[in-house]
Amino acid sequence: MANAKYKRIILKISGEILGNRSAGEPIFAKSLERICEEIKAVSDMGVEVGLVVGGGNIFRGLQGADKGIDRTTGDSMGMLATVINGLALMDRLEKMGAVVRVQSAIPMDKLAEPYIQRRAIRHLERERIVIFVSGTGNPYFSTDTTAALRASEISADIILKATKVDGIYDKDPHKYEDAKKFSELTYMECLEKRLSVMDSTAFSLCMDNRMPILVFDLQQDQSIRKAVCGESIGTIVR
C-alpha cells in the first residue's frame, strides 16, 4: 500500500473493451489477459478491488429495440451478458492466482453469490477481488449506475471508469482535432458544460454521495496502477 493513493476502489470496465470487433470476438483472449494482469497487480499492492463490468460486447439492452425486443426483456438479456463477462474475468484472474468472488444482483446460485453488501465488504477486507454482475438487477439502469451504487454501498474511495479515451474532453476528440481535455472538473462544471461523464442517474448518485470519478484510457500501459497511485492520468471529477 506504500504507493497506493486509494485503499478501496470500484473499477468500471465496459464490455466492449473485452472484445475485438474487427476479429468478431466478443471476448478477446489478449484483451482479457492484459486487463486481468493489471487488476491482479493492483490487488497485490493491497488495494481492495471491486469490479463492475458491462455487457455491450455481447448484448446491450437498447440494441433489442432494433430487433423488436421489448426494452425490459432486452435489459434482462444485457444483464445476463455481464454475467458471462464476469465469469470470464473470474476464470482468468483465478488462473493468475487471485482469489475472486462473483456477486450477482439477480439470484443464480449455481454461478455466483447473491449480492449482499456486508458479504462484499468482508470479501474485500480479506483481499478478495469482488466482481459485481447483473447490473442493479433492474431494467432501465446502466452499469454506470451499478458502479455508482456499489461504490456508495461499499464506501469506496473512488470510481475508476476505464474507457477508450484518455479523459474527458469538451467535444469528441476522435472527430475534432481542437478538442480540449480537462485534467480536473467539479460535478457542477460537468453539468454546466453538459459533459457526458456517466448517464444522468449514475452521475447524480455520485454527486449526492460525493463519490469522485476518474475517467482514463484503459489501453494505456499500466493505466490502472497509475490511476490507483494517483499519477497524472485521465480526468478526475469531484
Is there a contact between 13 and 217 (Cβ–Cβ < 8 Å)?
A: no
pLDDT of residue 127: 95
How far, in Å, CA of 18 to CA of 26, rounded? 7
pLDDT for res 1: 53
- Residue bearing the bigger pLDDT, 88 or 68: 88
State mean pLDDT over 68-81. Answer: 90
Looking at residues 19-43, what average pLDDT do you find? 89
CATH superfamily of 8-237: Acetylglutamate kinase-like (3.40.1160.10)
- What is the Cα–Cα distance from 127 to 99, expressed in whole angstroms? 8
Rounded mean pLDDT of the chain?
91
What average pLDDT score do residues 67-86 get? 90
| 66 vs 194: which has the higher pLDDT | 194
pTM of the predicted protein model:
0.92
- Using alpha carbons, select from 225, 236, 238 the residue that is nearest to residue 166: 236
Q: What is the pLDDT of residues 40-60, one digit of tens each?
A: 999 999 999 999 999 988 887
Place of cell 469506496: 156
Collapsing DSSP states into helix, strand and coil, what is residue 184? strand
pLDDT digits (tens, 9 = 90+) for 100-147: 999 999 999 999 999 999 999 999 999 999 999 999 999 999 999 999
Dihedral (C-alpha) 37, 61, 102, 92: value to the nearest 10 degrees? -30
> Region 137-164: what's the mean pLDDT?
94
Cell of 133: 454482475
- Kind of pairing between the strands at 100-104 and 158-163: unpaired
Which residues does residue 70 pair with via DSSP β-bridges, in sequence order? none
